[in-house]
Amino acid sequence: MAMMSKTSKKAWVGFDLGGTKMLAVVYNDRFKALGRARQKSQGVAGAKAGLGRVVETIRLALADAKIKNTQLGGIGIAVPGPVNGHDGTVIEMPNLGWKNMKLAAELRKVFKCPVSVLNDVDAGTYGEYRFGAGRGGRTVLGIFPGTGIGGGCVYRGEIFSGASRSCMEIGHINVQPQGAFCGCGSRGCLEAVASRLAISQAVAAAAYRGDAPFILKAAGTNLKDIRSGLLAQAVAKRERAVVRILEDAARWIGMGAATLINLLNPDIIVLGGGLVTAIPGLFLKGVRDGANATCMKSFRNTARILIAELGDDATVKGAAAWAMHATPPAQRDATPKNRLPR
């Protein structure tokens, strides 16, 4: 890994708690990666064990970068769920057994530096705003389809949040009042018709009926095996049932985006996540078509809809950049106690 340059005063850690693995990356103040560590989050039971794994992963990344705690400028933690960014509380994160976890306070005790906690899609959107497809935008929306559908917004350089917690829950815009049940308990949410889970369910049903023979041969009807890469292969083989399901999902996402276009008039909408990355052309066209068919005529084609550029690095890099942004300049620019490696 590259070491910090003479001009780099502080190191910044970005941490992604999403998915089945934790990822910590250490950056210099030019956001060049210095070191990283990845560990499993599955099988970690209880709040104490989950916190212990987070601390361990950060320490491993710091060791990889040859950085001491005293050289840290701050840590940004991206969480897949609602957070209170004002005091660094994770409101709920079931897979680690967290509820109202005072994460920032706990990590400050260990690492003695500022800690920012933010929603993972907010972090990804901020990463794209700073370093990727959203550069130069005034109002940048991020839409990231995955197991659910996450949303984020950066407005004039700041992450848009609610009075007490992260918001922009795009996946829970109601698009079918009498539609399928969503994991949140409501019916007809965008997630219920256009998330990767919803797509995989529809594709599995098509395979069962015999309408998707490639999928049936490759994965049967097992939802866990019908993943983004396999769906992309089916599209490349022109498996019509799969293409139609994905095109419908992309248009639904566009219709959800239209609601936000009417409300916020963004100049850039960034589409990200593994599913979009695997099949970018299909999603780009479908979302654009769905948005323009649904939003007010005066708002059509006012937003540039783009594919994310940073891939998996968007979230972790965005979290680190937000940690720097949220740290007061005097504290951010202070010379560390220990000399940094060149």
CATH number at residue 250: 3.30.420.40
Q: Beta strands 89-93 and 149-155: pairing type?
A: unpaired
Identify whether 340 is part of a domain.
no
What is the number of structural domains in the chain?
A: 2
**In the chain, what's the furthest Cα-to-Cα distance?**
66
Q: How far is CA 11 from the centre of its chain?
A: 22
- For residues 119 and 142, membership in a common domain is answered with no
- For residues 38 and 158, membership in a common domain is answered with no
The per-residue pLDDT for 266 is 97
- Locate 277 and state its tokens: 């990355």
Q: How far is CA 212 from the centre of its chain?
A: 30
The per-residue pLDDT for 30 is 93
- For residues 216 and 174, membership in a common domain is answered with yes
- For residues 117 and 155, membership in a common domain is answered with no
- For residues 119 and 185, membership in a common domain is answered with no
- For residues 115 and 155, membership in a common domain is answered with no
- For residues 16 and 158, membership in a common domain is answered with no
pTM over 0.95: no
Identify whether 3 is part of a domain.
no
Question: Can you list the pairs that 67-71 forms with residues at least 24 positions away whose Cβ atoms lie under 8 Å?
Answer: 67/4, 67/11, 67/26, 67/34, 67/35, 67/340, 67/341, 68/338, 69/111, 69/112, 69/113, 70/112, 70/336, 70/337, 70/338, 71/10, 71/11, 71/336, 71/337, 71/338, 71/340
* CB neighbours of residue 309 within 10 Å: 16
The per-residue pLDDT for 336 is 60
The per-residue pLDDT for 341 is 52
- For residues 45 and 80, membership in a common domain is answered with yes
> Helix or strand or coil: residue 249?
helix
- For residues 166 and 286, membership in a common domain is answered with yes
Q: How far is CA 254 from the centre of its chain?
A: 18
The per-residue pLDDT for 7 is 42
- For residues 153 and 221, membership in a common domain is answered with yes
What are the φ and ψ backbone dihedral angles of 20, each rounded to 5 degrees?
A: -95, -5
Give pLDDT tens digits for 190-205. 999 999 999 999 999 9
- For residues 287 and 154, membership in a common domain is answered with yes
Identify whether 5 is part of a domain.
no
Identify whether 102 is part of a domain.
yes
The per-residue pLDDT for 3 is 47
- For residues 298 and 322, membership in a common domain is answered with no
The per-residue pLDDT for 335 is 60
Identify whether 1 is part of a domain.
no
Please report which residue ranges of the chain form alpha helices under DSSP H.
47-65, 103-111, 120-131, 190-194, 196-209, 213-219, 228-236, 240-264, 274-278, 280-294, 313-326, 329-332
Q: Let me know: does 154 contact 123? Beta carbons within 8 Å.
A: no
The per-residue pLDDT for 123 is 97
Identify whether 236 is part of a domain.
yes
Identify whether 68 is part of a domain.
yes
**Per-position DSSP letters for 267-302, written without gaps between them:** SEEEE-SHHHHHSHHHHHHHHHHHHHHHS-GGGTT-
Mark the ranges of the chain whose per-residue pLDDT is less than 50.
Answer: 1-7
The per-residue pLDDT for 4 is 47
Identify whether 170 is part of a domain.
yes
What are the φ and ψ backbone dihedral angles of 250, each rounded to 5 degrees?
A: -60, -40
Which residues form the domain of 109? 11-124+313-332
The per-residue pLDDT for 164 is 85
What are the φ and ψ backbone dihedral angles of 44, each rounded to 5 degrees?
A: -90, 110
Q: Let me know: does 309 contact 128? Beta carbons within 8 Å.
A: yes
